[in-house]
Amino acid sequence: MNKYFTIITIFIFFVLLCLVIFTFNKDDTSQLEAKIDSLNENLTPGVIEILNPTFVNKGLDENPYEIAAKKGIQINEDIELYAVTGKFTDKDKKLIYISADKGYYSQNQQVIELTGNVLMYDDLGNKTSTEKATIDIEIKKTVLTNKVISVTNTSEIQSDSSVVDDENGLITYTGNVKVKIKNK
Amino acid sequence: MKKIYLIILIFFNSYVLSAEENISYLEIESDELIITENPLVSKFIGNVYAKNEENQFWGDTILINYNNDKKINLITAVGNVIIEREEEKVMGDKAIYNLKSEKMIISGDVSVFRDGNILNGNELTIDLMTSISIINGSNKKQVSAKIIE
């Protein structure tokens, strides 16, 4: 009698154990399924992540430039860039270097938007910093917004915004313009 | 040898210091600035205020012309011009300051205020080297003065 009782007890314990394991597994599976569903929801079609992207135009059209970044995310035909650096040439073929925290490069429109610690400088020590810049590569026009500071060997210019029209040799600074010119 | 080196060093240092002393600064504030590259001209527009070591300028517009070495050679203020220097205040329609000749010509409806005295005329020429000022009238407006006794 005792033997049967032990067997029945073990059987009941075994069935209970199976039920517990099954229930826990079912919870894990449903959690996993929920995670996969949420990932699928977040994925946007046409988004590709690129490491160290570089865009070079060696230019038969006399407008060579190079844009590089640590990371890029291609969203349809535009590319979001992180830790951006680049090289452009002005109309006198002088090299202009750029760097910024973030960029948004439109290959079709040949426009790059730079944000966060934007720095533009050349080999002569001329430097311009701002918070946001939009460079139209084709027409060689740069629009700088938010806290523009330009420093050369002989002057320092501060303003709210600025437009550099390289093609027409014109630089406009607008809003709270403050200039200090060194003159011997 | 050490003495020669020391003399060269002292000479070089004094040269650097004297060169540094010759540097002057022009500070300008305005609503807008347009810089053209060829020829190099800076045009300050709107509520313009400029100052250097000796003079202060106010005007609607101030134009700065540079020479070939990119040094300022001419400052032109246009519209509601006010110039303050030493104990003198000059008002006019236009002022041209030639940095090379150190001459300033203020034209238009010119008024000079100094020690409570007022001098009116058509054109004022100030020679900053000799501190000689000449005020001229025109056919329409003679020079007039109001002097406190």
Contact between residue A141 and residue A164 where contact means Cβ atoms under 8 Å apart? yes
Output B23 or A30, whichever has higher pLDDT: B23
**Shortest distance, CA A40 to any CA of chain B (angstroms):** 52
Report the domain count for chain B: 1
Question: Which residues of chain B are within 8 Å of residue A180 when distances are taken between CB atoms?
Answer: 25-27
Q: Which residues on adjacent β-strands are paired with residue A48?
A: A74
Q: Which amino acid is at A18?
A: C
Identify the CATH number of the domain in which residue A138 sits: 2.60.450.10
Provide the whole-model pTM. 0.77
Q: Is A73 helix (H, G, I), strand (E, B) or coil?
A: strand
Looking at B52-131, which runs of residues are DSSP E strands?
A: 55-66, 72-85, 88-98, 103-114, 117-127
Identify the CATH number of the domain in which residue B33 sits: 2.60.450.10
In the predicted model, what is the mean pLDDT of residues A65-78? 91
Cα(B76)–Cα(B96) distance, integer angstroms: 4
Cα(A165)–Cα(B87) distance, integer angstroms: 43
Do A18 and A95 sit in the same domain of this protein? no
Question: Which residues of chain A are within 8 Å of residue B19 when distances are taken between CB atoms?
Answer: 184
Contact assignment for A169 to B38 by CB distance below 8 Å: yes
| Domain interval for residue A21 | 1-43
- Tell me if B3 is assigned to some domain: no
CB nearest A172 (choices: B19, B32, B70): B32
Residue-wise pLDDT for A2-36, tens only, equals: 777 788 888 888 888 867 776 666 666 666 565 54
Do A15 and A104 sit in the same domain of this protein? no
Q: Is B50 helix (H, G, I), strand (E, B) or coil?
A: strand
- Tell me if B131 is assigned to some domain: yes
CB nearest A174 (choices: B25, B32, B38): B32
Residue-wise pLDDT for A85-112, tens only, equals: 999 988 888 899 999 999 999 988 999 9
Predicted confidence band of residue A37 (pLDDT cuts 50, 70, 90): low
- To the nearest whole percent, how much of chain B has pLDDT over 70? 85
Report the domain count for chain A: 2
CB nearest B24 (choices: A177, A179, A183): A183
> Does the pLDDT at position A184 exceed 80?
no
User: What letter would DSSP give residue A59?
Assistant: -
Output B124 or A43, whichever has higher pLDDT: B124
Contact assignment for B37 to A174 by CB distance below 8 Å: no
